[in-house]
Structure 1
């Protein structure tokens, strides 16, 4: 395999994650990347995700026991997981209000937090109306 092809694979996988509306699992990264690189294999996706993580271009998100991946540099955000279609979306507003100074009642000093909301995404909720 040539260095050019490897760079193209990295670029396509990185673009898939940058363009995604939320974090993606390995199988979904593979499916989306194969639109540009039909011969792309799962082992290459795993190697590339590891490399992009080491380079801090992407980062893993643990959600319900699965590791998903998303582009780095998106600032403070949280996730919404649809119970019906199983897609995960990025939420750009924080639903959690912490007291001033990062102190949580009981003396806990909050340094960071992650929130995942669960329910129906707009498309799935519209199917019920």
Structure 2
């Protein structure tokens, strides 16, 4: 029975990450997964995220010193962090034209890059400033 329960927990956590608009923090995964599994605990979420990372299904993203998780295989993308609500969104266009192999001034050879843009998401931007 434990194996079935673990599989259900993995399935729910995987669905949560697949449906997310961007990488999620552990607490966000927990809250969203508890909709389907009210008794789910944070230790189980940590164990499951570790397992899914080891299996290559998800990967960690560090933003502002906080580890978040997103589904692997999304290809080249960047993130937008809302300073209003704290949500993080995946951006599917690249704001930086630095392909791998580019020689950056000073002799730095680019292998990859990560960009996080900060500002207000459409919801927060539409809200009155005093709200």
- In which range does the TM-score fall when normalised by the shorter chain? over 0.9
Number of residue pairs the alignment of both structures matches: 129
Q: What's the Cα RMSD here?
A: 1.5
Q: 1:126 to 1:15 in 2, by over 3 A?
A: same
Distance 2:106 2:100 in 1: 14
Is 1:123 paired with 2:123? Answer: yes
Structure 2 equivalent of residue 84 of structure 1: 84
Instruction: Give a deviation string over 1:90-116, Cα, whole Å, max 9, x none.
Output: 000000112784221221111111000
Taking structure 2 as the reference length, the TM-score comes to: 0.94
Structure 2 equivalent of residue 51 of structure 1: 51
* Matches for 1:1-129 after TM superposition, within 5 Å: 2-98=2-98, 101-128=101-128
Q: 1:26 to 1:99 in 2, by over 3 A?
A: closer
Distance 1:28 1:99 in 2: 33
Taking structure 1 as the reference length, the TM-score comes to: 0.95
Distance 1:66 1:127 in 2: 26
Distance 2:99 2:79 in 1: 22
Name structure 2 gaps, 5 residues minimum.
none
